[in-house]
Amino acid sequence: MLVSVKKQFLFLFIFFLCFCNKADTEPPTITISSPLNNETFQIPCNINVIGTTQDNINIDRIEIDLVSENSATIIQKLEIDADTNYFKFDISLAINDRLLNSGNYYINIKSFDENQNISSSYISLNINELPRFLVSQYYILGNHNMAQLYELDSNSNLQLRYSNIGNYKSSLVNSKHQYFFFLNDQMGWSIDPINFNSLWDLSSNISFFNLFTGISKTNNNDQTHLCFSDGRLFTINKEGNIINAIYSTNQESFGAFYVDNDLVLMESYSNTIQKQIVVFFRQSGIEKKRINIDADVIKIIPINHQQYMIIANQLNKTLLKIYDENLNILFTETELLNSEVLDVLKLNNHILLGTSNGVLTYNLDSKTLNNLNPNLVAQKFVYDEYSENLYLICGKELWNYSSISNLNLVNTFNDSIKDYLLLYNK
């Protein structure tokens, strides 16, 4: 009888022990009181995340982050230690990213108990981006040997901001990453638009020596392409680091160029007579094909899939040629006699031509030329993609063109206008 009692006691003890050691599989619960689902916020803003989490045993920690629709992290994960079975949280998420786009975003809240059971709760938000606005207008004025950067103040007066540009070659403004980029005959460098201090320069990475021939930037404004006549094309990022390079074959020289999605079209020549359009693969720099051209290329412009317009000068005339990259054929579509083209811009289905005989427009659909103004010699076109305004730099004058009001004089200076730069907040 005593043995039987002992067996019963042992059985109850083992049962009790197993019951106590049974693994906890119940996850915590999460209750969110703020923000409301599908609530709308305007950048800049603070989003207060308020709620509670509860567990049957003990909560170890909670994690909160903000993600986009494709799960990209917008605000890095915040971890909060709890060590209690009931925890109330009140966290403020500051959203002040000026480059964040409008869209749907999600606050992701996770609660972990001591056995790493997890619960998740998502709150959908509508976030409106920071409105874009014009910060200021800048002019680069000067002569061949010296150029200076001026800002147009609220009273329409020029204020000197930067006077160390030197023998000016080219420039651009990057509103997305907030810097100016200048090139002279010796180097290229960037400055910030607040204190006008130098951010970075290319003197240690790229040799210039008056070989610079052209500049362009990608549509997303994250990369800039620099071309040099000794057969070098560099791509730099917003920090000024070289991230890609293309070199000429057979020590050929480079001229005008266009960087497409996967290809680079380049004017290449071994002498002033034998010139070619060479197509390179953009990433590898390997040559894909080439074709002869008997003119000095000024601009290469995409017009449709695998077709490009090549605008070139040949003796005393301007040629508008079509290059079909797929078929590798080149033919002349239009000739302008007794003309020299200085700059070209594609605007919708029109090509604007700044020539020695005035400003012309070429309709890509009807293939017709129109004389916009025979008296203005536009050395450079400046197109503001945000306001959709077109500006013409004509010596010491800046003109504005629109299809509604035609041409209007904007400003006149004593020195030649090298560039007109519009800085936006993003």
- Judge if the upstream peptide bond of residue 35 is cis by omega within 30 degrees of 0: yes
**Predicted pLDDT at 229:** 95
**Predicted pLDDT at 8:** 55
d(CA 74, CA 10): 58
- Dihedral (CA of 134, 138, 139, 140) sign: negative
Query: For each of the chain's 426 residues, which pLDDT tens digit applies?
Result: 444 545 555 555 444 444 444 578 999 999 999 999 999 999 999 999 999 999 999 999 999 999 999 999 999 999 999 999 999 999 999 999 999 999 999 999 999 999 999 999 999 999 999 999 999 999 999 977 889 999 999 999 999 999 989 899 999 999 999 999 999 988 999 999 999 999 999 988 888 878 999 999 999 999 999 999 999 999 999 999 999 999 998 889 999 999 999 999 999 999 888 899 999 999 999 999 999 999 999 999 999 989 999 999 999 999 999 999 999 999 999 999 999 999 999 999 999 999 999 999 999 999 999 999 999 999 999 999 999 999 999 999 999 998 776 899 999 999 999 999 999 999
| CA separation, residue 18 to residues 83, 251, 278 (Å) | 25, 81, 78
The answer to whether 275 and 293 have CB atoms below 8 angstroms apart is yes
Our CA dihedral for 150, 153, 158, 163, rounded to 10 degrees, sits at -30
* Domain boundary assignment for the chain: 25-128
Print the SS3 string covering 60-126. EEEEEEEEECCCCEEEEEEEEEEEEEEEEEEEEEEECCCCCCCEEEEEEEEEEECCCCEEEEEEEEE
pTM above 0.75, yes or no: yes
**Predicted pLDDT at 1:** 47
Q: Which two tokens stand for residue 58?
A: 């003990």
Our CA dihedral for 322, 326, 329, 332, rounded to 10 degrees, sits at -10
Strand partners, 416: 142
d(CA 395, CA 404): 24
d(CA 50, CA 4): 59
**Predicted pLDDT at 16:** 47
d(CA 343, CA 339): 12
**Predicted pLDDT at 210:** 82
What CATH number is given for 25-128 in this structure? 2.60.40.10
Please provide the distance, in angstroms rounded to a whole number, between the alpha carbons at the two ends of the chain: 89
Short-list 357, 343, 287, 297, CA closest to 323: 297
d(CA 124, CA 395): 54
Short-list 151, 149, 154, CA closest to 137: 151
Helix%, strand%, coil% for the chain, nearest 5 = 5, 65, 35
The answer to whether 126 and 413 have CB atoms below 8 angstroms apart is no
The answer to whether 112 and 81 have CB atoms below 8 angstroms apart is no
Please give the angle made by the CA atoms of 92, 93 and 95, to the nearest 5 degrees.
140
